[in-house]
Structure 1
């Protein structure tokens, strides 16, 4: 298994994620940015849009992109950005160990979201955008943009057909998702992203609950697991673009706008890439066999999630505000009926 130390040393010796760029003037603003994603996934979730930024910005500004754990471990991304070691980050709050009141909602907050469109609506019409901006400004980080990513499903080596099958399974997942899933006997495991595939091969892991089926195929996890559980604990991942506040404030307004436009274009790409991929690979994928926990049994997990919301809301005033927004939104969706929600 590649160690993080050797991986970083190798990355330092090699060129970073090289992006096509024009000749660079000495006055060019240079940023270093790290994503949560490994190389194969980054080809979809960020690299094209950083290339777009660099092409348009030209010799005024260039962003050097690094992949998961290439400069610092993902769990240290926030601190590195706050210190200015890294200028910008693409991640969820949970993975990068953000010390904010909203961290628990990043990544997969269980059953808060049914579809990918839920994320931009919550942020832009239900006030989450303002809450995130306030919380990150307190710790010297600019929250630039939030978007929806893929749903959270299990991909495992052994079939999952009931809640009992989850007992004792060692699963690579996000901190909050792991905290919730431990109620059903799951043993959450934290590893560097690049070590996951080998850990599945050696038996260190029994499976993952880190993504939907599109990522399982894209990054190679479908090659080392056998089954895909169609039940999910969240219909979309909440991911963000962030920047060191001082570096952000130094940018001229047009470059700030350009960065925001490119970030939003990245979110839009993922919205349709995941939506189409999730369906197509369930139907046409030839690597993972689909399994399903019966709806009446899975309802126990959904009911437990509402108790989990109450526990999180009791932890602070800010968390209570976010949970209230999530409840309000889901109530509206339920009352609206199909296609917003199906019973």
Structure 2
């Protein structure tokens, strides 16, 4: 199966998907019959999926898709944002202590120079308080406003979301849903029932909605051309032209990212809400109880677990330890509690804060309120 063209030349298939989506949507708009809302919404959804699923593969295709979406919106869909408020709901802010960390992430009193960052501060995590307070996303183009976020996208857009609070769980899945519906659910107060957790995670929302890209100011540090750190000699910068990957993270209070490692340097900007981050150095790896890489026999016999990720073992860099659990006993995962916890650190990011950490560091995230963050991998 893996020798088929689908796997040997994935760009070919992504390009084909993009072209088919574009031509089908254009064809649906070229008709003598009146174009109703349902047809326009279907065309926009198809084009959004070409961005989300296939990356709008092909030279200039992303620009064409954005232009077609804008034309369909302006000519066939009313721009109504009734019902969405000017801010996400605020909740009483109480952070549950993180028992699995003994230290606080270092907070710098002022931003380091580029030379100082390259020479000294790029070796370990640090926080710059209020560093992004001058971003348009925190001021006059506020991401804290669902009405603004809806307006930027325009009507009919769809986005990918995770369904479930923890991607290690067997019932965790993903879906594509209406952007307006997702924002509406984030604005809905808890009703006392067990609600499904929806999380827009690790998605390049700024490429899908280009206006949002103008709302951030990428720190100069991400262009520092960093070398491979001593603890992560396999480091390579992202392979795109900018050598930069931007991802958005938007979800309600309680959404978590389990402890895992990433292969890049990370500047993590907290735009809206508060988020607690747990960190441990690569030296902790032997005591982090990571999921094992899959084998042929495990693929055949084990129940599916998204963290094991049998098609891409890179996600095996995920720990089985729930670092945010309030455990009464340390009998489970004893090496973690004995060897990692004394060195682990944590911090609760406030709106406007910027967190840095190097590649290979273990990290876990927990939203303390509705939270909107941007990670900048470089």
TM-score (norm. length: structure 1) = 0.27
Larger Rg: 2
